[in-house]
C-alpha cells in the first residue's frame, strides 16, 4: 500500500476538512516525521470556531495541531542529532535563531517565530510532517508518544513556574483547573511547592485537580475578587500564597490573583482573556506584588521531558479522550463541548 498523507486542514472559520496532501520532504536541518499523537489545544478549537486569535487571523487554509509527537521517517541533509526510527516530541515553535531575542536565549519572543498552527504557519495534525531537527526531542523507550505530545502543555507549566520562582516550600495559588492549570499544578508540586490551591467554576475540573495532587480545591462562587481572596487565604490557614499562577484569563480571576497574593509576592499571567481589563493596580503597586506575563515557553522541553522520564510528574491522567485522525472533527466537537481535559488524536493509520 502506498503511503498517503491524510491531513486536518482548517479551510476557513468553522470548516475542517480531512484531505490527502502531498508527503513533504525534509530540507537541510529538517526531519520528516511519521506523526504519532497530537493533542487538541483550546487555541486549535478557537481558530476553528472564530477564525482568529487576536491579531492572528486565518486568511488561508491552515493545517491544525501543535501538541505533537512523531517517529523520524527521513533525514534532511546535515541532520546528525537524530536517526530514522527515533521517537520524538516536537517543540512546535521554530524561531529565526539570529535576532537579539534568539541570541539572548529568549527565543519565545522572536518576532520571526514560525509556530505550528498559528497563522500563517501550518500545524502537524497529519500522517506526515516536516520539522527542524533541533526542535525535536528524542523520547526514551519508556516514555510514550502520548506523553511526548503532552510535553507541549507541560512546557507551559515549566515556563510559568520558572517565571514565578516556584521552589521548595512555596505556597502557590493556581486560578483555573483546565489543562494549563493542571500542568502548572503538576509542575509546582514537582518543584517542591509545599501547598497548592486551585480554583475553578467547574466542580469536575476541581475533582481532577484533587486527584492530581492539589491540596485545596476552591469552587469560585462569587465575582467579588476580594471575597474570593479571603476564601483563598482561609484555605491556606490564614496566610496568603506568595505565588499565584493565573490560568483562566477571566477578568474577576485576574483581579482575585492580585488580591490573593502575599505582599512582595508574584502573579504570573498565563491565561489570556480580554485585551484590556480593570485591575487593582494600586493594590499590587503598594504591596510590591509583581505581575509577570509568560508567552509559551523557552528552553523548557528538556526539563519537561526529564520530569516525565524520571517519573517526577505523571501527565497520563490528563488524557480523557482518544480519537483517530479520521475522526478529527468529532475530536474537535468533543473539545469544544468542554468535555474532559485533554483530547488526544492518534495519527498513525491502523
Ligand atoms: P480552559 O478553558 O480549558 O481552562 C480554563 C479554566 O478556567 C476552565 O476550567 C474554567 O472553568 C476556569 N475558569 C473560568 N473562569 C474562572 C474564574 N473566574 N475563576 C477560576 N477559574 C475559572 O483553557 P486551558 O487550555 O487550560 O488554557 C487556560 C488559559 O491559558 C487560556 O486563556 C489560554 O489561552 C492560556 N494559555 C496561555 C499560554 C501562554 O503562553 N500565555 C499558553 C497556553 C495557554
Ligand atoms: Zn529570532
ipTM score for this prediction: 0.99
DSSP bridge pairs for 183 = none
Dihedral angle of Cα 178, 183, 185, 187, to the nearest 10 degrees: -170
Q: Where are the domains of the chain?
A: 5-138+315-346, 156-293
Is the pLDDT confidence value at 205 over 60? yes
Residue with cell 512546535: 92
Cis peptide before 120 (omega within 30 of 0): yes
**The domain 156-293 belongs to what CATH superfamily?**
NAD(P)-binding Rossmann-like Domain (3.40.50.720)
pLDDT score for 350: 79
Is the pLDDT confidence value at 1 over 60? no
Cα of 178 vs centre of ligand 1, distance in Å, is: 6
Q: Which residues line ligand 1 (CB under 6 A)?
A: 42, 156, 175-181, 199-202, 205, 220, 247-250, 252-253, 270-272, 294-296
Which set of grid coordinates corresponds to residue 73?
521517517
Per the CB < 8 A criterion, the answer to whether 232 and 245 are in contact is no
d(CA 265, CA 102): 29
Nearest to 178 by CA among 199, 155, 160: 199
Per the CB < 8 A criterion, the answer to whether 278 and 302 are in contact is no
Topology alike, domains 5-138+315-346 and 156-293: no
Q: pLDDT tens, 81-104? A: 999 999 999 999 999 999 999 999
CATH topology of domain 5-138+315-346: Quinone Oxidoreductase; Chain A, domain 1 (3.90.180)
Which phi and psi (to 5°) does residue 208 adopt? -65, -40
pLDDT score for 227: 98
Cα of 110 vs centre of ligand 2, distance in Å, is: 4
pLDDT score for 130: 98
Among the bound ligands, the one closest to the CA of 183: 1
Ion ligand 2: residues, CB within 5 A, are 95-96, 99, 102, 110
Cα of 52 vs centre of ligand 2, distance in Å, is: 24
Residue with cell 491540596: 215
Amino acid at each position: 500500500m502506498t503511503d498517503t498523507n491524510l491531513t486536518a486542514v482548517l479551510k476557513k472559520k468553522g470548516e475542517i476538512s480531512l484531505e490527502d496532501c502531498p508527503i513533504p520532504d525534509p530540507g537541510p536541518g529538517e526531519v520528516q516525521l511519521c506523526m504519532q499523537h497530537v493533542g487538541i489545544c483550546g487555541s486549535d478549537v478557537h481558530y476553528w470556531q472564530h477564525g482568529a486569535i487576536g491579531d492572528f487571523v486565518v486568511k488561508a487554509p491552515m493545517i491544525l495541531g501543535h501538541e505533537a509527537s512523531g517517529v523520524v521517517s527521513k533525514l534532511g541533509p546535515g541532520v546528525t542529532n537524530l536517526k530514522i526510527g527515533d521517537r520524538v516530541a516536537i517543540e512546535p515553535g521554530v524561531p529565526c535563531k539570529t535576532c537579539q531575542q534568539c541570541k539572548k536565549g529568549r527565543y519565545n519572543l522572536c518576532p520571526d517565530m514560525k509556530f505550528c498552527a498559528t497563522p500563517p504557519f501550518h500545524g502537524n495534525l497529519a500522517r506526515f510532517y516536516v520539522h527542524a531537527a533541533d526542535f525535536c526531542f528524542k523520547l526514551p523507550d519508556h516514555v510514550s508518544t502520548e506523553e511526548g505530545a503532552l510535553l507541549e502543555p507541560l512546557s507551559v507549566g515549566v515556563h510559568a513556574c520558572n517565571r514565578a520562582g516556584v521552589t521548595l516550600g512555596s505556597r502557590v495559588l493556581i486560578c483555573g483547573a483546565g489543562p494549563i492549570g493542571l500542568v502548572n499544578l503538576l509542575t509546582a508540586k514537582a518543584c517542591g511547592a509545599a501547598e497548592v490551591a486551585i480554583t475553578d467554576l467547574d466542580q469536575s475540573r476541581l475533582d481532577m485537580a484533587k486527584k492530581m495532587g492539589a491540596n485545596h480545591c476552591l469552587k469560585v462562587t462569587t465575582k467579588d475578587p476580594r471575597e474570593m481572596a479571603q476564601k483563598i487565604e482561609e484555605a491556606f490557614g490564614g496566610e496568603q500564597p506568595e505565588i499565584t499562577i493565573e490560568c483562566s484569563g477571566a477578568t474577576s480571576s485576574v483581579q482575585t490573583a492580585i488580591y490573593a497574593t502575599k505582599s512582595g509576592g508574584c502573579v504570573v499571567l498565563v491565561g489570556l482573556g480580554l485585551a484590556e481589563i480593570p485591575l487593582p493596580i494600586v493594590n499590587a503597586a503598594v504591596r510590591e506584588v509583581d505581575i509577570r506575563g509568560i508567552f509559551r515557553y523557552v528552553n523548557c522541553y528538556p526539563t519537561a521531558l526529564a520530569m516525565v522520564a524520571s517519573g517526577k510528574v505523571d501527565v497520563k491522567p490528563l488524557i480523557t479522550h482518544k480519537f483517530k485522525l479520521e475522526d478529527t472533527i468529532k475530536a474537535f466537537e468533543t473539545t469544544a463541548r468542554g468535555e474532559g481535559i485533554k483530547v488526544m488524536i492518534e495519527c498513525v493509520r491502523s
